[in-house]
Amino acid sequence: MTQVNGIEFTQNLVPSSKYSIKCPNVMIAKKITIHNTYNDAKASNEVSYEVTNANQVSFHIAVDDLGAIQGIPFNRNAWHCGDGANGYGNRNTIGVEICYSKSGGSKYTKSEQNAIKYIAALCVQQGIVATTDTIKKHEDWSGKHCPHRILDEKRWATVQKAIIDEYSRITKAPSKPSITPSKPATGSTNAGGSVVDYLNSKKIDSSMANRKKLAVNYGIANYTGTAAQNTALLNKLKAGAAPSKPTQSVYKGNSLVDYLVSVKKASDKASRAKLASQNGIKNYTGTAAQNTQLLKKNAWILKNKMEKREFIK
């Protein structure tokens, strides 16, 4: 179990076999949508029910008095806003359910406090600047009276501001030390520990999509924006470590094996079979026809991937 901004965080992700039902579309999150569950179930029960049923209803995170549990990957959409298959809320926002909202008493109060802290940190992880335009309620997308408890108590503006204030607190650069620090790298004004702030200070795109590209460039595999990955990426950027340069091919012949060798990639049959499968060539056995098809169909794709440092493994 890990912590995100002091909140216990775990995952119980929906199996990929249910993506077509629960989260069929790839997504780069742009905003956060807040919900109340309208029951008194704990987060683990909410997520467990979500990932096991076959309903086209889903959300990314449930937060209770103990912590936050993720059920849907953040890079896929979920059906939580009620604004249709192509609605902005459903297709571009992360859904967060706050538990114990029906009659949870102190448990609900703690759940809401945990949600405020977690959502602020989630914004940092996803490269979303917390503002009144990015922290939304379910009602904004479909008109549904949700988050019902927050709305009933007329506290939406207060909760929204609390998230924005917490985001500002955790992204604020620390005060300057009394000892004069060494001169920073030219062009950088970032003194904090946030990779987003560092990239912004260098006038570099800090979106999740660009951080994923940077992570690949610097050898950080399977980047999802965790605190550990962001720290590793920040350290590499600050150190000025140059990303590895891909091998460019000058081969112009007709042999797939020779082409792969020219770009210093595995050319054995198993590696070629994997490459064939990735590119829609089924039942690869290494025939001359299959090799020629794979080379002609994908030489330019291989070259582009290498230029983007998305190495075929």
Q: What is the sign, positive or negative, of the torsion defined by CA atoms of 119, 125, 126, 131?
A: positive
Helix (H) or strand (E) holding 8: strand 7-11
pLDDT tens-digit readout, 238-255: 776 555 554 454 455 667
Cβ contact 58:23 at 8 Å: yes
Helix (H) or strand (E) holding 95: strand 93-98
Q: How far apart are CA 46 and CA 10, in angstroms?
A: 13
The number of CA neighbours under 13 Å toward the Cβ of 231 is 3
Domain segments of the chain as ranges: 2-171, 176-244, 256-307
Q: How far apart are CA 310 and CA 15, in angstroms?
A: 26
Looking only at Cα atoms, what is the longest distance across the chain?
72
Torsion of CA 64, 65, 70, 74, to 10 degrees: 80
Task: Note the pTM of the prediction, 2 decimals.
Answer: 0.58
pLDDT tens-digit readout, 185-236: 444 444 445 788 788 777 788 788 788 888 877 778 778 778 778 888 888 8
More confident residue, 157 or 224: 157
DSSP track, 129-146:
--STTTEEEHHHHH----
User: Which numeric CATH code is attached to 2-171?
Assistant: 3.40.80.10
Question: Is the predicted pLDDT of residue 36 greater than 80, yes or no?
Answer: yes
